[in-house]
Amino acid sequence: MSGATSFEQNHADARAHLARFATAPVGHLIGGVAVPSSSGETFTNHSPIDGAVLGTVAAGDRDDVHAAASCASTAFAAWNGIGGTGRRQVLHDLADLIEQRAQQIAVVESMDTGQPIRFMSTAALRGAENFRYFADMAPDVANGRSLPTAELVNYTTRRAIGPVGVITPWNTPFMLSTWKIAPALAAGCTVVHKPAEWSPLTASLLGELALEAGVPPGVLNVVHGFGHTAGRSLTEHPSIRAIAFVGESVTGSAIQAQAAPTLKRLHFELGGKNPVIVFADADLERALDAAVFMIFSLNGERCTSSSRLLVQSSIRVEFEDRLAARVRALRVGHPLDPATEIGPLIHPVHRDKVRGYVNGAVADGARVVVGGGDLVDATSNYVNPVVVLDASRTMAIARDEVFGPVLTVLPFDDEADAVALANDTEYGLAGYVWTSDSGRAHRVARDLDVGMVWVNSHNVRHLPTPFGGMKRSGIGRDGGDWSFDFYTETKNVAVAYGAHQIPRLGAV
Ligand code: NAD
């Protein structure tokens, strides 16, 4: 898991690859050309590590989105027209390029997001894997089903829905965007991507690599800017047929309203407050490994993080002690250091939100046994990993998505209590169950109100499986053919075998 290169080498690579972003403003990518905003507006991009200015970035608005949507509309017929086999080759070429530039992508991503290099190295390669997986499926996207009756043969076909908008968050921006962009392009759609304003850089790299790989100009466009301007315009644009959105639940609600007048298809991957349920009969050492990994990897800025640790009362004290020892030993540091396990949070606003939740938990009467007060530096974005004990089920720390390195422990008595507690949230993304009783594992998995359950495992993503959430965690599923259902229209064709009876209204 740890980065293959040294701290010094990562620094040297980061300096080399960030230099261009410091010397010239980052433009939009519209119709294959890097362009400034039509208004000339830019915003400043800061590194989460020390606040240093990484450069300026074009701040798009309605006109830039319109230009990108027009290019995506124009490019659609030809890209769709080359067929799945043609797209398969181009997308494999793009995956090759991503693999070749994985170190560049990883160091830029680390500097732009604060995410440790040990995770960003693999995230860049996961992006390539996503393109390969959907590239291989591209030739079969149009395939449908045969549904014959005695009198008619029905068959279904699928075709790309058209130009789509992809709006992504800042936590693991490169890898996350490929979950959406890879299947969209494989299906034959063209894309306008609006990346998050707090981590814009790797979206531009992906757009450039796509052009270099032979993705025609206009097929993948990037418009930078803020949610309320560029993002909003994209969701409202009449040529954009669908929006694939990853972000906060409250933003999903706003997008649903914004997209209503143009009746867009929507796919939402939203927030989570995911339970990891540890029964007394579990392999406690492995459960500990997984619980710590799922909340403290990616700085806890992870939609599927195990932010609520539900522990059976009979093992609670022992498990909490072992947990606290492990969390105290986590290595907080510079994200380019391969030894670092936790880096700085993305932005001062987000840091304050996370610290606010921890302070609020203490004010509410919970106990912080690790982290909390001993912040690395009050002015930086670093937040030491936090374990919160003795929280009640109604406290904000036990219910809200904190999206940082903060783990709240809640005890439960028995299986029914565990399920009730796990489901007592507005979210329903993922759940993790630890038990050696296979019947119980299946029962709990069945009863959890979540889109994904892992039993005796951390989150291991298998691309053919569906990814997504229930309740306020999302609408729709990614992965396998579920992705193509979103990016295509299904058509049914019914053909009569012969002269079946047709009602003869008006006949004499
Ligand atoms: P966010 O909702 O603030 O922003 C996400 C994107 O939406 C950004 O690009 C932003 O500019 C844009 N946006 C904001 N307002 C908009 C509007 N009115 N119209 C159109 N676009 C708008 O989310 P964030 O803070 O960047 O990301 C963190 C959130 O993402 C967390 O809640 C996390 O759980 C969620 N997330 C979910 C998944 C998943 O798969 N379920 C994965 C990663 C992150």
Domain-wise residue ranges, the chain: 7-270+473-492, 275-455
Average pLDDT over residues 481-486: 98
**Which H/E stretch holds residue 182?**
helix 173-187
Which residues are near ligand 1 (CB < 6 Å)? 167-171, 176, 194, 196-197, 226-228, 231-232, 235, 246-248, 251, 254-255, 258, 269-272, 303, 401, 403, 429, 469, 474
* Residues whose CB is less than 8 angstroms from the CB of residue 502 and which lie 6 or more positions away in sequence, other chains included: none
Contact yes or no for 306/291 (Cβ under 8 A):
yes
* Protein residue whose Cα sits closest to atom 23 of ligand 1: 247
pLDDT band at 372 (very low <50, low <70, confident <90, very high): low
Task: Give the Å distance between the CA of 125 and the centre of ligand 1.
Answer: 23
Type and span of the H or E element at 441: helix 438-447
What pLDDT sits at residue 373? 53
- How far, in Å, is the centroid of ligand 1 from the Cα of 268? 10
Structure confidence at residue 5 (pLDDT): 85
Percent of the chain having pLDDT more than 70? 98
Exposed / middle / buried, residue 145 (Cβ in 10 Å: 0-12, 13-18, 19+): exposed
Contact, 346 vs 110, CB < 8 A?
no
Nearest residue (by CA) to ligand 1, atom 19, is: 232
Report yes or no: 417 and 434 within 8 Å, Cβ to Cβ: no
Out of 45, 64, 171, mutate this one to test ligand 1's pocket (max ligand atoms within 8 Å of CB): namely 171
- Residue 268 CA: nearest ligand 1 atom is 41
Residues classed as catalytic: 269, 303
Residue 479 is classified by DSSP as S
**Cα(244)–Cα(478) distance, rounded to whole angstroms?**
10
Mean pLDDT confidence for 321-332: 96
Helix, strand and coil percent figures for the chain, each rounded to 5: 45, 20, 35
Q: CATH for 275-455?
A: 3.40.309.10
- Residue 245 Cα to ligand 1 midpoint, Å, equals 7
Question: How far from 104 is each of 101, 122, 334, CA to CA, in Å?
Answer: 5, 12, 17
- State yes or no: pLDDT of 239 exceeds 90: yes
Is residue 377 pLDDT above 80, yes or no?
no
The rounded percent of the chain whose pLDDT value lies above 90 is: 96
Q: Report d(CA 401, CA 403) in Å as an integer.
A: 6
3-state secondary structure 128-171: HHHHHHHHHHHHHCCCCCECCCCCEEEEEEEEECCCEEEECCCC
Q: Are 456 and 434 in contact (CB under 8 A)?
A: yes
Cα of 149 vs centre of ligand 1, distance in Å, is: 46
**What's the gap in Å between 168 CA and the centre of ligand 1?**
6
Give residue 247 CA to ligand 1 midpoint distance, Å. Answer: 2
Q: Which two tokens stand for residue 468?
A: 């997504």
CA-nearest residue, atom 39 of ligand 1: 269
Pocket residue to mutate for ligand 1, from 250, 303, 429, most atoms within 8 A of Cβ? 303
The b/e string for 460-471 (b: 16+ C-beta within 10 A; e otherwise) is eeebeeebbbbb
- Atom in ligand 1 nearest the alpha carbon of residue 401: 32
Mutate which of 57, 167, 198 for ligand 1 pocket (most atoms within 8 A of beta carbon): 167
- Report the nearest atom of ligand 1 relative to the CA of 255: 19
Model pTM score: 0.97
**What is residue 1's predicted lDDT score, i.e. its pLDDT?**
43
H or E segment to which residue 8 belongs: helix 7-23
Quote the pLDDT of residue 508.
Answer: 87
339 within 8 A of 2, measured Cβ to Cβ: yes
Compute, in angstroms, the gap from residue 330 CA to the centroid of ligand 1.
28
Eight-class DSSP state of 436: S
N- to C-terminal Cα separation, the chain: 80
- 462 Cα–ligand 1 center, Å: 23
Atom of ligand 1 nearest to the CA of 225: 11
Is residue 36 predicted with pLDDT exceeding 80?
Answer: yes
CATH code, residues 7-270+473-492: 3.40.605.10
351: left (phi over 0), alpha (psi -120 to 50) or beta: alpha
Q: Ligand 1: which atom is nearest the Cα of residue 169? A: 26
Residue given tokens 């990993």 in the structure block: 385
Query: Which residues are paired to 146 by β-bridges?
Result: 155
Nearest CA to ligand 1 atom 13: 227
Give the pair of three-digit tokens for residue 62: 């309605």
CA 440 to ligand 1 centroid distance, Å: 35
- Beta bridge partners, 471, equal 427
| Closest-lying ligand 1 atom to the alpha carbon of residue 254 | 18
Does the structure show a pLDDT above 50 at 3? no
Give the three-class secondary structure for 87: helix
CA-170 nearest atom, ligand 1: 26
Q: Kindly report the protein residue whose alpha carbon is nearest to atom 9 of ligand 1.
A: 196
- Best residue among 222, 246, 297 to mutate for probing ligand 1's pocket (most ligand atoms within 8 Å of CB) is 246
Ligand 1 atom with the smallest distance to the CA of 269 is 41
Q: Is the dihedral of CA 485, 202, 79, 89 positive or negative?
A: negative
pLDDT confidence bin for 309, thresholds 50/70/90: very high
Burial of 274 (0-12, 13-18, 19+ CB in 10 A): buried
Joined together, the tokens standing for residue 322 give 């072992």
Nearest C-alpha neighbor of 267 from the set 37, 475, 503:
475
Pocket test for ligand 1, best of 248, 406, 426 (most atoms within 8 A of CB): 248
- The DSSP string of 367-429 is EEEESTT--S-TTSS----EEEES--TTSHHHHS---SSEEEEEEE-SHHHHHHHHH-SSEES
Of the pLDDT bands very low, low, confident and very high (cuts 50, 70, 90), residue 379 is: confident
Interval 7-32: pLDDT, tens: 999 999 999 999 999 999 999 999 99
The sheet carrying 452-455 orders its strands as 367-370, 386-389, 406-412, 308-312, 275-278, 430-434, 452-455
Average pLDDT over the chain, rounded to whole? 96
d(CA 185, CA 190): 6
Say how far apart CA 313 and CA 319 lie, in whole Å.
10
Mean pLDDT for 433-460 is 98
Query: pLDDT tens digits for 252-276?
Result: 999 999 999 999 999 999 999 999 9
Quick check: 72 and 242 in contact, CB under 8 A? no
pLDDT band at residue 2 using 50, 70 and 90 as cut-offs: very low
Rounded CA gap, 189 and 194, in Å? 16
Neighbours of 160 (CB within 10 A): 24
Determine the distance separating the centroid of ligand 1 and the alpha carbon of 155, expressed in angstroms: 38
> pLDDT tens digits for 56-89?
999 999 999 999 999 999 999 999 999 999 999 9
